[in-house]
């Protein structure tokens, strides 16, 4: 059963696969909201592949920087593991487990501190967290709508449709999807993907973002600017339950 909704607003950002840029998009959304004077919190519930898990990993650090967060690291990223594996496997290698209820309680605490909370998942919806729990189960417990970040190239239609259909089958509300990493000179597969997805996914396309270069901070700043210039910005803000002007 879905958990009782939080009192605050929020969004859960997932990807259709690893490496689609969901951390950059989540960070850019946080930066965009901060620039609009929205009190935004950020959370990376589980991060793996961290060299020194006593501190934030690269995803957690980027989200914290993007939102200019003053929250404690234990709240921003409660579970951190060394092995670059699925959370349940990475935790097992360290003799630990991921406590899904603790993650929900942590998100609830963050949600109570901020007007808006952006939560970024690990991998895709079907990634195992612990004891039969998937990332999708965490999303459902949180009760936030889902933003799907997908790549622009060949294969993205299949991956995106599977993600959206799985979310709907599990009664997870889908805010929409963002196509990330579109090249300046897209090939036929890239060029046709957004239109095909918008007609097949039964979900709103909330933006097409270009491929950006530079270090992570520069890339987030570039994507933040792109988000602000999106023709679909009103739809994006509506999906985030935010006013068109703030």
Query: Does residue 26 sit within a domain?
Result: yes
- Position 208 confidence tier, pLDDT thresholds 50, 70, 90: very high
Neighbours of 23 (CB within 10 A): 23
What is the per-residue pLDDT for 1? 45
What is the per-residue pLDDT for 5? 56
**The total number of structural domains that make up the chain:** 1
Share of the chain above pLDDT 90, in %: 79
Question: pLDDT of 116-149, one tens digit each?
Answer: 999 999 989 999 999 889 999 999 999 999 999 9
Question: pLDDT of 34-49, one tens digit each?
Answer: 999 999 999 999 999 9
Task: Give catalytic residues, as residue numbers.
Answer: 44
Q: Are 191 and 173 in contact (CB under 8 A)?
A: no
Alpha-carbon gap, residue 111 to 10, rounded angstroms: 8
Query: Does residue 34 sit within a domain?
Result: yes
Query: Does residue 30 sit within a domain?
Result: yes
Here the CATH number for the domain that contains residue 106 is: 3.40.50.300
Question: pLDDT of 60-104, one tens digit each?
Answer: 999 999 999 999 999 999 999 999 999 999 999 999 999 999 999
Q: Are 81 and 91 in contact (CB under 8 A)?
A: yes
Helix (H, G, I), strand (E, B) or coil at 93: helix
What is the per-residue pLDDT for 62? 98
> Nearest 5 degrees, angle CA 136-CA 72-CA 118?
35
> Nearest 5 degrees, angle CA 153-CA 159-CA 164?
125
Domain range for 198 is 9-239
What is the per-residue pLDDT for 2? 47
Query: Does residue 2 sit within a domain?
Result: no
6 against 150, higher pLDDT? 150
Find the mean pLDDT for residues 228-244: 88
Residue 164 sits at φ, ψ, to 5 deg, of -65, -45
What is the per-residue pLDDT for 144? 95
Q: Are 27 and 62 in contact (CB under 8 A)?
A: yes
Query: Does residue 176 sit within a domain?
Result: yes
Query: Does residue 4 sit within a domain?
Result: no
Q: Tell me which of 12-26, 82-96, 177-191, 209-223 is least confident.
A: 177-191
> Nearest 5 degrees, angle CA 18-CA 22-CA 25?
160
pTM of the model: 0.94
Query: Does residue 244 sit within a domain?
Result: no
């Amino acid at each position: 059963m879905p958990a009782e909704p939080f009192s605050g607003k929020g969004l859960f950002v997932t990807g259709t696969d690893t490496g689609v840029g969901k951390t950059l998009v989540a960070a850019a959304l946080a930066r965009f909201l901060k620039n609009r004077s929205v009190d935004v919190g950020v959370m990376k519930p589980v991060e793996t592949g961290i060299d020194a898990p006593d501190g934030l990993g690269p995803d957690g650090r980027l989200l914290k920087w993007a939102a200019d967060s003053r929250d404690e690291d234990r709240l921003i990223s409660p579970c951190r593991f060394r092995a670059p594996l699925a959370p349940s496997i990475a935790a097992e290698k360290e003799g630990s487990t991921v406590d899904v209820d603790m993650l929900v309680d942590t998100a609830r605490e963050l949600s109570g501190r901020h007007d808006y909370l952006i939560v970024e998942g690990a991998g895709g919806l079907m990634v195992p967290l612990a004891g039969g729990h998937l990332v999708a189960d965490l999303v459902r417990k949180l009760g936030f709508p889902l933003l799907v970040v997908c790549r622009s190239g060949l294969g993205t239609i299949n991956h995106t449709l599977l993600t959206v259909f799985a979310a709907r089958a599990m009664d997870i509300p889908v805010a929409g999807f963002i196509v990330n990493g579109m090249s300046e000179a897209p090939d036929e597969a890239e060029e046709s993907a957004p239109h095909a997805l918008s007609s097949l996914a039964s979900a709103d396309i909330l933006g097409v973002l270009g491929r950006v270069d530079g270090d992570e901070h520069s890339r987030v700043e570039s994507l933040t600017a792109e988000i602000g210039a999106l023709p679909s910005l009103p739809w994006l803000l509506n999906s985030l339950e935010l006013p068109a002007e703030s």
